[in-house]
Structure formats: structure tokens, C-alpha cells
Chains A and B, each alone.
Chain A
Amino acid sequence: MSMDKIFKRSPLWQDKPSPYCPGCGHGIVHRLVCELLEEYKLSDHCVFMAPVGCSILAYTFLNLDVCQPAHGRTPAAATGVKRARPDTFVLSYQGDGDLAAIGTAEIIHAANRGEHITTIFVNNAIYGMTGGQMAPTTLIGQKATTCPTGRSPEAGMGYPIHVCELLQSLGGVQYLARVSVHTAANVIKAKKAMKKAFDVQLNKQGFSLVEVLSPCPVNWGLTPKEALTFVDGNMVENYPLREFKVDGKIIMPAN
């Protein structure tokens, strides 16, 4: 019986240790990004914009040009790279603290200007790198080191920020979708959405963003398997998975 190799690591992902914890979703999201860059033959003229957060260490294993700016300023720096080198594919990778807290102004205005960049926004509802603090996307009742009894709007901690819903009204935004990587079927859907987001930049249409719900078992205090269940239930319930904008047109919810 012969064995065929039907899956391998992307050559853009060098044979180096992953900095991520067991059960973390970043690895899956990186893989999808690498596969698309390969399929589109973009890896030779691509800049990966790394945020401040867990994925800051992407440069240690990705075989890509990497630019790593200050916390939250990724969309502004991505704007600078793209304007300086319009022929370069600019992939901006941000987490929820980077994009939806400290960098709120930068993402809104890069989106509104219709910068020709593609943003992959990983939403795991927590600050990972600094050790599990409350994020702007932390769910109500969800515990974190800075909301030890759970996020409480009544206690002045505010509400989870819905980034896709927030960005969809902006004129420069061409494509917006929220996906997840907690099941194989969702991973396939996530890749399809990212592909559309890549197309927007390649066709010089404007700004595109894909929000990816992603597990963080270590900082959620769950096992990897429990973390997937948390995404499937709590996360998806609060953050509906769908396209919000296609070709610059707002998509209304199905029901």
C-alpha cells in the first residue's frame, strides 16, 4: 500500500518551534495566511505587519518580510508601507487588544481611507501575551485577571466591541467577514473569506478585514477541547459568523 503525502507545512512556515500555547488558534490562522500567500504567489512581495501581542513573534518562523510597529499602530504603519510600495501585498495581522482597544483610531481611519491593505483580526476575547487581561472583546461575565469576577457592564467595564458591525458603515471598506477556526468546516470557510479579502487588495478595491474567532485555552483557564466548545457556544452566540460587507455593499443578517 503506498502512502501519498496530501498535507504538508507551508514552506513559508520555517522549521522552527511555534511560540504558541497548546490549543491556540493563531497557528491555524497563520497556516491559512501562508497557504493563500503561496497559492497567490505573493510571498516574494509581501510584508507581514505583526502587531504587539502573541503574534509579534511571527517573524521568528515566517519566511516573509515582517514589519513590527508599536502597539495598536499596525494599520497606520501598514498604510505607510503600502503607500511607499503600492506593488507590495500588505497583510496586517492584529489581535483584539491591538486593534479594538489601543489601536481603535488607527483601524477605523485606515479602513475609512480605504487603504489597500488586508487585515486579519484574531479575536480571542483576551490579552494573551501579557497574561490574560480583559480585552475590548471579552464577553460579559467572562473572567480575566483584570475582571476577576467576570466582565460587568454595571461595574463600568463596558460591553464587548463588535468590530465588523462597527466598521461596516465606513465607505472605504470593501469586504468584511467574521469567521472562526474552531472546527474543520469553519476553517475551510475562514480560508474562503480570507481569499475574498486578499482579492480586494489584489484588485485595488480598498480595505478588507476578516475577523477570526480563535481559542485561547491557557488564558481562558480551559482545556483545548473545552476552549473549542467555548468558541462554538459563547463566542459564536455573541459574535455571529457571517459576511458583513461584500464589494462595498452592506450584507443584512439572514434572519
Chain B
Amino acid sequence: MAERVLMKGNDAIAEAAIRAGVQCYFGYPITPQNELTAYMAKHMMEKGRTFIQAESEVAAVNMVYGAASAGVRTMTSSSSPGISLKQEGISYLVGAELPAVLVNIVRGGPGLGNIAPSQADYFQAVKGGGHGDYHMVVYGPSTVQEAADLTMKAFDVADRYRNPVMILGDAILGQMMEPLVFSPYTSIPVDKPWAVGGERKGRKPNLINSLSLEEGVIEEWNWKFKKKYDEMRAHELMVETVNTADADIILISYGSTARICRSVMVAARKKGLKVGLIRPITLWPFPYAVLAQAAETTKEFVVVEMSLGQLVEDVKLAILDKAALHFHGRPGGGIPEEKDIHEILEHVLVRKRQGNKITTRGTVIDWEVS
């Protein structure tokens, strides 16, 4: 039987990547993901694999570009300001069709911000933070166990589509210790006849780039990429739904915040309130159809996230005006509190929006696009 271990999220992601066969890791110090880089320094070199502390996040992601070009499994990790620096490289990885795993242990921003947990990099991750049209699969793990499982899966998904994959965590997930079991992992082998380097043995030269100055070529590449994005939408979507069948109100949240919402849901159900939870596990592709379906029967939705309101826009796109949408968000390292979410549930379900206006900062009843 697989051994149960107690690990920090950052360490668990690193160990999962090692078990998934990452050959080259490139990092740069930034809190709150430093344990991940330190774990890699300790364990990659002793396994004869590559660890480099790069001179910058920019250099690290371009080392990833090189290693991915040569056909090995490779990754980098960072936190928000560092991920901003990697955006150029992420766009190039997509443009050159290179598989790689990127980890963002999100902290409060904008700017240097702080080192507290945040989900304010949602837009950057799912809407394409770099230049050009692109998408990548983005996982938003909620537990240390899930972070490890999804990290392993991320390498397979990256290889399958020749596209980067992002793990979007936050400071809670990265720093928190939890028990987990590393599931026996079998890599899905993928041929990489496109890679550069190694013995050519008569094959034609390979080219890794994202440039063409010939008319129409880049448009054609984009159409080809779109087919991949459509495949990802069709096959990679992951979402958890809990207690939604009879729900009068559904909480929507991902990552660490979804755990807070889960506690709220359990307590509210004990009080007789019919509360459900929808937790997107892939933030891209996004479960628009699942939400739209839920909005056919449930008429009240509450989005909870650690930002001024990013996930809420995707939820609005999904449910449109089929249901009322409410929002509770805490930016810049603030963490939503259970009592504030309970207050919204009471206000909507029990008091039917009468009197006692909600004064909690960060709450918007009947959220609208503005």
C-alpha cells in the first residue's frame, strides 16, 4: 500500500513532478514558493537530473524553452511577480508548441504586493497573460493531495497537446502541510520526433520557433492551435459539484477558497439551508456548460474568491441572466471568512434580501457586469 506522508504543498508539487519524470527544473527565489525550488535543488541533483537556480524568472522560463525543445520533461515555478516576468516565455512556449509545466503559487498584488495568499492572477492564467491569442490548461488544486495528483497529470497533458500547462495555487496551498498519498504513477509515453538535438541519424533537421514572415502562415498556425484548444475543452475539463441537485443557492469557488466554501456549505446544510458547491478544478477549460445547466434549476449563485472579482466574470458568462449572481471577494492577501459567506446565504435565502443591507466589504448582492 502506498505510504501516507505529511508534506507542504510546495514540497508535494516538487515530489510529484520528480515522480512524473521531470528531467530539468529551472527556478528563481520568490516567496511563497521557495520550498519547491529548495526541494528540487536537493532531490534533482542527487538523481542526476538538472536543477538550475537561474539569474531571473525570465532566464528560467527560457531554460524551460530550451529543455522542452530538446524533448525532455521540464518545469519552472514561481509566484505572481515572477510569473509576470515569465509571460513572454509562456507565449513563446505556446507559439513554438512546447510542453512544459508552470507553477504559480499566487501572492497578493499588484506590484510587489505581499506574500499572503491570493487568487488575483486568475485572469493572467486563464485569459492569456502574454501576447497573442493562446490558451493553456490551468489547474486550480484545492488540497495538497490534489496539487500532487494534478502536477503528475499536468506533464501528460502538456506532452499530449505540445502546450504548456499551469498549476495555479496560492500561498495557503503552498505553505500548508497535509497528509497525502502519492498515487502510483505511470507516465503516458509520447514520441517527440519534433525535438531538436540528439543523433539525427539522417532525419531532416527539426526547427523550434514561433516566427514566420510568410503571408498567412501564422494565421494557419493559429487555426491549428485552435483545434488543440477545442480538444482540450472537450477532454480536459474537470469540475466538482456537491449538493447541487436540490440547491437553492450554489457557492462557486476554486482552490483554497473552495475549502472555506465547503465548510460554509456543510454548516448551512445543518441549519436546513439548501446550499451546493461547484468547484472548477480546471480554470481553463472552464465549466461554462455545468454552470449553465445548474442555473436552469438553482436561481441564486455566490462566487467567492481572493480577488476584486475575476472568476465571477466567467460565472456570469456561463449563467447570464438565468440566475441571480452574488459576489464576495478579498483582494491583496485578504482571506474570505466563513461568517461573511454565511451572512450572504442568510441575506439571500432567509431574509429574502429584505432590510439589514450587507455592509461587509467585498460583498456585492446582485452582481452585474460594470
Interface residues of A (CB under 8 A from B): 44-45, 47, 49-50, 56, 59, 62-70, 73, 76-85, 87-88, 90, 105-106, 108-109, 113
Contacts and interface: CB of A to CB of B under 8 A. Distances in A.
B89 A105 contact: no
Interface of B: 23-24, 26, 50, 52, 54-56, 58-60, 62-72, 74, 88-89, 92, 96, 196-201, 205-211
Contacts of A45: 197-200
Contact of B55 (A62, A81, A83, A109): A109
A88 B70 contact: yes
Contacts of A50: 209
6 contacts: A45-B200, A68-B209, A69-B66, A76-B66, A79-B52, A82-B66
B24 A65 contact: no
Contacts, number: 135
Contacts of B66: 49, 67, 69, 76-84
B98 to A, nearest CB: 10
A108 to B, nearest CB: 8
A87 B58 CA distance: 26
Contact of B198 (A62, A85, A108): A85
Contacts of B74: 80, 84
Given A81-B70, A84-B71, A109 B59 contact: yes
Contacts of A65: 196-197, 200, 205-207
A88 B198 contact: yes
Contacts of B71: 84-85
A44 B59 contact: no
A49 B70 CA distance: 12
Nearest to A82: B66
A106 B59 contact: yes
A73 B58 contact: yes
A148 to B, nearest CB: 27
Contacts of A85: 70-72, 197-198
Given A64-B205, A84-B197, A88-B197, A69 B65 contact: yes
Contacts of B196: 47, 65-67, 81
A80 B24 contact: yes
Given A80-B67, A81-B197, A83-B24, 18 more contacts: A44-B201, A47-B69, A56-B211, A65-B197, A69-B65, A70-B62, A73-B89, A77-B66, A77-B69, A78-B66, A80-B69, A82-B66, A83-B63, A84-B71, A85-B71, A85-B197, A85-B198, A105-B58
A67 B69 contact: yes
A57 B70 CA distance: 20
B54 A83 contact: no
A84 B70 contact: yes
Given A84-B23, A84-B72, A69 B62 contact: yes
